[in-house]
Amino acid sequence: MTRISVFGIGYVGVVSAACLARDGHEVIAVDVDADRVDALNQGRPPIVEKGLDELLAEVVASGKLRATTDAQQAVMDTDASFVCVGTPSAPDGSVGLTYVISVCEDIGRALRAKDAHHSVIMRSTIVPGTMEEVCIPTLEKASDKRAGTGFGVGYFPEFLRESTAIEDYADPGLVVFGSLDPETEAVLTEVNADLPCEMHRVDIRTAEMVKYTSNAWRAAKISFANEIGNIAKANKLDGQKVMGILQSDHKVAMSPAFLRPGFAFGGSCLPKDVRALRSVGRQCRVATPILDAILEANSEQIVRAEDMVRSASKKAVGLVGVSFKSGTDDLRESPLADLAARLIESGQDVRIYDPYVSTAFENDPGAEGRGNAVVPGLAGRMERDLDALIDRSEVIVVGNRYPEVQDRIAERGSDRRIVDLTRIDPGRLSGAEYQGICW
């Protein structure tokens, strides 16, 4: 087993650290946030993610996982470092590398004093060429060593979905990585050896591109399905039925997961990665009309939902879900948060039911996932009681799917308008009191 330091205790970092420790590796999680480090050392996760509480408590208690703010010591005490920090969009839409560069500088300084071989493996999402043009030069300058000989280098993108991240780690659909040296390839081979899928060993630039291609493809499928759904509805057809038939073609349609007409995409990956890939195209003077259209179509889907809600309600709106997807407290680029903010700005009185976000607020009002401040006074708009939300609302907007919602709305919300962005009842089509966004 390998001794691994994981830099960044965010969504990817904390799940990766816990799963690596579960698999028998000795793991040190590193972060500049002392409160987050203290919480992890007590077995408390910094995020809300299914199964993480129990897993984290188990691996911390076993001694397989600990956390620190000391980057130097973490590098000295491990054989490889996984970099899992965020890469939020820069103002021009390109990939933001502030955190990546900072961590590479920290690791590089630590490597300067280390004689034993050490591999630096990037997991953060970065556009093709970033390892060669930014990360490696930063590491070499800070360490005064040469990549590939003085230290190892690899790129190992993650494909974890929030709310199913632990299951995805154990059963991924795709494993791809690139490395400069045999030692780093050996580390990555060992880490992935028991996973039930093929390992794609490629050059580093290809591994970087695969990650962006995957995210851009998922984003494209969502927007394509939404456009078909909108056209189908305008012609008095059920968009989900149309796309469901298309999905039956498993030979060509690859995966049906995102071919489901509904609301806009959001989260920490798809929006920023489509912007970043579009930025790469501009830098290469390659036109990107499809990527442009994906972002435009996604924004239009939010506008469409806003128009539906405003036409259905004079004032009181009950929003079910505000995170970017069910099962997580993450509001980064959440289209539901954007919708809530638009409605509030137009004068609507918006209250929100989202059990995961409510739990996160109760655990830590400053926790990661709600840092975008998109929804004015979000904490004060949260409603723990779904019945109370229904009773005070003129229109109920169903944005995320939660098990209790369908029956509750059927029992108590029959005299209220419903705007459904997720389809809680597969058999129901738009009518006088119910509007589905694409059906």
Q: Which residues belong to the annotated binding site for NAD(+)?
A: 31, 36, 87, 125, 162, 272, 332
Strand pairing report for 175-179 and 152-155: antiparallel
Three-state DSSP state, 324:
coil
Yes or no: say if 83 and 104 are a contact pair by the CB < 8 Å rule. yes
Yes or no: say if 318 and 389 are a contact pair by the CB < 8 Å rule. yes
Task: Give me the sign of the Cα torsion angle 410, 412, 418, 421.
Answer: negative
Residue with tokens 């791809």: 176
Residues 6+ apart with CB under 8 A from 427: none
Rounded CA gap, 96 and 89, in Å? Answer: 5
Partners of 436 in beta bridges: 420
Rounded CA gap, 221 and 378, in Å? Answer: 31
Yes or no: say if 152 and 175 are a contact pair by the CB < 8 Å rule. no
Rounded CA gap, 18 and 313, in Å? Answer: 45
Residues recognised as catalytic: 269
Yes or no: say if 335 and 263 are a contact pair by the CB < 8 Å rule. yes
Query: Residue 27 — φ and ψ, nearest 5°?
Result: -120, 135
The amino acid present at 357, given as its one-letter code, is: V
The amino acid present at 418, given as its one-letter code, is: I
Rounded CA gap, 337 and 201, in Å? Answer: 39
Rounded CA gap, 408 and 383, in Å? Answer: 15
Rounded CA gap, 378 and 410, in Å? Answer: 27
Residues marked as binding for substrate? 159-162, 211, 258-262, 266, 325
Q: What tokens appear for 150 in the block?
A: 């003085």
Partners of 3 in beta bridges: 26
- 3-class SS letters over 166-223: HHHHHCCCCEEEEECCHHHHHHHHHHHCCCCCCEEEECHHHHHHHHHHHHHHHHHHHH
Rounded CA gap, 165 and 170, in Å? Answer: 9
* Sheet arrangement for strand 417-420: 349-353, 316-320, 395-398, 417-420, 434-436
Rounded CA gap, 52 and 4, in Å? Answer: 19
Yes or no: say if 372 and 332 are a contact pair by the CB < 8 Å rule. yes
